[in-house]
Structure 1
Amino acid sequence: MSSYVKRHVRKSQTERREEIIDATLKLLGEYGLEGTTVSRIAAAVGLTPGALYRHFESRTALINEANMVAGERAVNWIAASNEPDMLRRLEELGNTHAAWAKANLNTVVRPFFLEVAAPQQPDLGGQMTLPLYKSFQALSDLAEEGKRQGTIRPDVPSQDVVWAMFMFAWVEDIAVLMGAGQFVIDGTFARNLKRMLDSFRPDQAAEIEAQVLFRSSDCESGRCVR
């Protein structure tokens, strides 16, 4: 098939929609919500703005679907590991987050920050954060499984484990946005991730309880520092 024919093969409706969504996600990562205009999206896929509306009824509908796709990709990434130990799986996710972010700038938290920082757009409603809730549930399921298998302390709420992972990922993204990405690749983040996750190990429960009792006894004897 000649290069001319390849360039002019008509794409199916599904293929074209996927192409538009991919372009939208990349633009969200580059320009944020406000800068992801219909004109930019159309230009990225070689269509006129009018032709774009044959595939999506509005910019709002397109942005919402793009965010849902991003959420699905994140959930699939979370579920992709075969590591049976749930705490190790969480550590694996944390350690590969930066590489995954670099390879998939259109599917990570970074566009979310830019969307949140954009002027409010009421027509988008709560759709901007919905993909995050799906990731939250996927991570919560891992935490619950970790408790069942005995690799995560049963006294730690699963939502605490999930929020710890979210905070780690968000700080990592902010570091990259600020130009401090060297801390991601030099092992600083990996070491802090391990320290954080180690606090969820079952053998830490007794140590933490002992520390609490020690502080309580200090308070009772008047040596408590508040």
Structure 2
Amino acid sequence: MAKRGYHHGNLRQALVDSALELIEEKGPTGFTLSEAAKRAGVTPAAVYRHFEGREDLIAEAARQGYEIFADLMDYAYKGGQPSALAAFEATGRAYLAFARKYPGHYIAMFESGISVNRTPELAAVARRAWDVLERAAGDLSQHIPKEKRPPAAMFSAHIWALSHGVVELFARNSPGRASPFPPEELLESAIGVYLRGLGLIPPDS
């Protein structure tokens, strides 16, 4: 493979970009630092000027992924939606869109085994993404009588779990798990069932 050019001072990002490609191709444990260095066009020793090891490199890829993810979630939440319900549903769709458009980041964030608490910076941006969904859930749950209202954190965790399940099983070409329905329809119908159960949308006529 031809060496990747990089501008002086941008080696750190070139290594992250190489790692993201390798993560997508081979998984988070299927490549070495030497491979990442080779793809970035530098010697393996150069990697250690910026990262202590492969997990440190993957953690930075995850941090950058969470930055993108949090921005997408925030945009979906604030993007001129006509109602709290529409804003809430938009954040669920944003999760699916992110997983499709940024598979390397998604894997680094959710499938690498890297803890979000590995660094303060990673923990902070992961919390920012979670907060968007929790705010959307909190806004929507105001329509439920207080005595029947689930905590916003639980509400948002349920939707995160639904979104994650659809992504893992049907949106990333998992072998042997072809679905007869588009992932967007699966997610929308699952959220609909959940919200009907809470009384937030009327039952089908």
Confirm or deny a common fold (TM above 0.5). Answer: yes
- How many residue pairs match? The answer is 188
1:1-226 map, 5 Å: 11-13=7-9, 15-81=10-76, 82=79, 83=81, 85-108=83-106, 110-116=107-113, 126-127=117-118, 130=123, 132-147=126-141, 150-151=142-143, 154=146, 155-176=149-170, 177-182=174-179, 183-185=181-183, 187-202=185-200
Change over 3 Å in CA distance of 1:135–1:99 after alignment to 2: closer
Task: Give the Cα–Cα distance (whole angstroms) in 2 for the partners of residues 140 and 37 of structure 1.
Answer: 37
Q: Which moved more, 1:154-163 or 1:16-25?
A: 16-25
How far has the Cα of 1:40 moved from its partner? Answer: 2.0
The unaligned stretches of length 5 or more in structure 2 are: none
Change over 3 Å in CA distance of 1:97–1:67 after alignment to 2: closer
Task: Give the Cα–Cα distance (whole angstroms) in 1 for the partners of residues 75 and 55 of structure 2.
Answer: 30
What TM-score, normalized by structure 2, do the two folds share? 0.72
AA aligned to 2:7 is: K
Contact 1:73 1:107 in 2 (8 A): no
The unaligned stretches of length 5 or more in structure 1 are: 1-6, 208-226
Task: Give the Cα–Cα distance (whole angstroms) in 2 for the partners of residues 194 and 43 of structure 1.
Answer: 48
SS of the aligned residue for 2:135 comes to: helix
Contact 1:87 1:146 in 2 (8 A): yes
Identity of aligned residues (%): 21
SS of the aligned residue for 1:97 comes to: helix
Contact 1:140 1:159 in 2 (8 A): yes
Q: Which moved more, 1:82-91 or 1:181-190?
A: 181-190
Q: Which has the higher Rg, Structure 1 or Structure 2? A: 1
Contact 1:152 1:202 in 2 (8 A): yes
Q: RMSD in angstroms over aligned alpha carbons?
A: 3.3
Contact 2:166 2:183 in 1 (8 A): no
